Structure 1
């Protein structure tokens, strides 16, 4: 019944356990695993479980090895972990996590703040990281951060993002994802960049990762879906943000994406009520209110009883 040119189904990736928690104070492993269990219970098929980065830089994810060791509890879920360099990739593979997401900043300003190297140097590392993942039986997804705008360098040229994507694929990246790290893009820009990257990298899935900093996150999801994007990141309760990008607030909320798409006739395979339950677990774990409008309002509209007097 969709009145929009939308795909029949999309594949959401839950990033609350990594992107959602990286700005928070560290929470105990037991609470993190409770949240992970609640997230898996929603029916989500892909989960970004953690990140193998410097524990000093991101103390909330210092328990990456312990988290990965617990993932065998959920054998039907496809788990992955984010890395920022070859050292993190080696840690991940050694811990039993060969499904890697490697972040490449599309601007030197963000790349230097995030990984202390230029964007070109980050691209060059794809070959070694992809080879490591492949040798371990996994895959390497190149996530291009600040793909639309950078808090240090301003607007990111689209042709530069396309060039990074093409080089990453040539060096062994299996998939691509475009990140709106500071939540500044808009639907028209989303369509233009996704289409340009697709044209340059035929045969590669191109996913999207939006932040809702300026309230346009869901509009960008809809625009991406209308051109056939089916790989979409979201975070339970709208948790998240980048510690190396000033002003970057939470991700788009999983429950809001599920509501938007399911009500538009697009299957997500995710139970909205279970996502709201997971958001409650997340809120207790982090100890503060979540940004998700839908979480505060509740799920689908429930009819009020009619008065009989």
Structure 2
């Protein structure tokens, strides 16, 4: 079966695509298990606010990430693919995960659209996260990308810890470029650079994006940012100025990696919408609807969400209001 249409269809120069990862990356660190029906309701709300790519689940060992134990049940409960209006993504850490993703294509609703593979940029983090070194990860991801594409899924890959590792510290940009080149040669439909623990600064993002873009040619790039040190929106803008047009984010700024100490949430969807829309860059998503969904999700989880724009709201000028 031929692979489905390309993951990284290029948006217009003054527009970006938001990949909403709240149902997977956003929820995976939640201690209380979120009901399958509530995950499906969250996905539906994200679609209603305009998300066209949504990471809906991950295929991981439920003993290690209990929150994702219902991956197949969530996917089976989605609307038929032809009626969704968004592309459903499943995260795959190994070949077994890809096989589980491919098995969803037999569901009545058509299953997933994309397999999101992961290659960690350091040995220590790779062994803790996926049980494999960098070199083992390259070989594994080559097989994963080939299997996903052959089975009919768009096959994209995220280079995790591309800007810094919680165990080994600085990651040489030359290594990330080499990994990106290897994944481009392996047929990745899209390559994401992930600041998994939120250590990057804008100059670093601009530098690495430039190097990787030059190395991989026409393969679309995506950026995945965590806001551990409050720089994710600035890093997103640096990536945009460097030519990146596809951005991961999680509603409310939820998330974190179970295997990365001190890593906090993803860049908040609301903050990217505020950043881009007020800068004249269209996102196709409604900030008003995102704020309403933030309130709904905060009620579901029983606490306010980290997003600063979620707390402050949109900026509305009011004549006659004193400073």
Structure 1 CA distance, aligned partners of 2:121 and 2:239?
20
Residue 99 (structure 2) aligns with? 90
The question of 1:284 aligning with 2:299 is answered yes
Residue 58 (structure 1) aligns with? 65
Structure 2 CA distance, aligned partners of 1:117 and 1:225?
32
Residue 259 (structure 1) aligns with? 274
Structure 2 CA distance, aligned partners of 1:58 and 1:10?
31
The question of 1:248 aligning with 2:263 is answered yes
Contact persistence 1:139–1:174 (CA under 8 A) = yes
> Displacement of 1:130 after TM fit?
1.4
The question of 1:173 aligning with 2:185 is answered no
The question of 1:48 aligning with 2:55 is answered yes
| SS of corresponding position for 2:85 | coil
Residue 108 (structure 2) aligns with? none
The question of 1:39 aligning with 2:43 is answered no
Structure 2 CA distance, aligned partners of 1:26 and 1:305?
47
Q: Which moved more, 1:14-23 or 1:90-99?
A: 90-99
Calculate the TM-score normalised by the size of structure 2.
0.90
Aligned pairs for 1:149-164 (under 5 A) are 149-164=164-179
Residue 35 (structure 2) aligns with? 28
Structure 1 CA distance, aligned partners of 2:230 and 2:261?
17
Structure 2 CA distance, aligned partners of 1:69 and 1:302?
45
RMSD: 1.6
Residue 123 (structure 1) aligns with? 138
Residue 19 (structure 2) aligns with? 13
Contact persistence 2:126–2:134 (CA under 8 A) = yes
Contact persistence 2:40–2:78 (CA under 8 A) = no
Residue 3 (structure 1) aligns with? none
Residues 303 and 86 of structure 1: CA distance in aligned 2, closer, same or farther (over 3 Å)? same
| SS of corresponding position for 1:81 | strand
Answer 1 or 2: higher relative contact order, Cα 8 Å, separation at least 6: 1
Structure 2 CA distance, aligned partners of 1:288 and 1:61?
21
Residues 140 and 306 of structure 1: CA distance in aligned 2, closer, same or farther (over 3 Å)? closer
Structure 2 CA distance, aligned partners of 1:188 and 1:23?
29
Q: Which moved more, 1:263-272 or 1:124-133?
A: 124-133
Structure 1 CA distance, aligned partners of 2:210 and 2:26?
28
Q: 1:70 aligns with which of 77, 86, 92?
A: 77
Residues 160 and 75 of structure 1: CA distance in aligned 2, closer, same or farther (over 3 Å)? same
Structure 1 CA distance, aligned partners of 2:284 and 2:261?
34
Unpaired segments ≥5 residues, structure 1: 1-5
> Displacement of 1:131 after TM fit?
1.9
